Amino acid sequence: MSAIRDDLAKAIKNTNLVEIYSKGTNEQFSVGYVIQQDEKFVLVQAVNVDGELDGLVVFRKASLARVMSDTDYLKSMTTIIALAKQRGYYDVWNTERLMNKLLKKHNKTKHSLLKTLLKQAFHHDQVIQLSGRIKKHGDSYAGFIHSEHKKYIEFNYVDMFDLAKRPQIAIRYAEIDEASFHSFETFNTTAVIESFMPGDFH
């Protein structure tokens, strides 16, 4: 854990692009810029395979297996990111502006990075994606927070295969290993909600 913390600190200091591996996933990894860390969580500006900023992600550090920098894949991605910037599609969702607002809010509170992100999503009716040890290990849900409580949230998630359903589950903060918003996936889910269930937002 201390090695991962040191790798994250180095990535923040050097603004390095990194590969982030979660435990139990040897080949799958996330790519992004490490922005900030606190005792338990790390905030990452995610980048997709096309070199576009793809949301803000908070990872639970205890769920991470390793953090790598300076790989050949990351060198390739740096070139792809440069192309995206050159062609004007690097930050189509204004993610950097949102990140600055989130950090300003986080620095004024005593909340963890996870709770700061969840509160931002709740107060602004933003769709988020959650994964971790929710119900079954590795389950992932996209939807919105119905209500906040001291140790858990009531979460309404979207089932794209059954839009008539309105599933709601209680998710404890301790079960969440990864939370993201302002991404292509969460904006896609937002479009579905606005089309088929506009009255469901709190």
Per-residue pLDDT tens for 166-190? 788 999 999 999 999 999 999 999 9
Give the DSSP letter of residue 163. T
Does the pLDDT at position 3 exceed 80? yes
Backbone φ and ψ of 62, nearest 5°? -65, -15
Sheet holding 136-148, edge to edge: 64-69, 17-22, 30-37, 41-47, 53-60, 176-181, 128-134, 136-148, 152-157, 168-172
- Ramachandran sector of residue 157 (left: φ over 0; alpha: ψ -120 to 50; beta: rest): beta
Chain segment 156-169, per-residue pLDDT in tens: 999 999 998 878 89
Structure tokens at 138: 């590795």
The two beta strands, 17-22 and 64-69, are antiparallel
Query: pTM of the prediction?
Result: 0.92
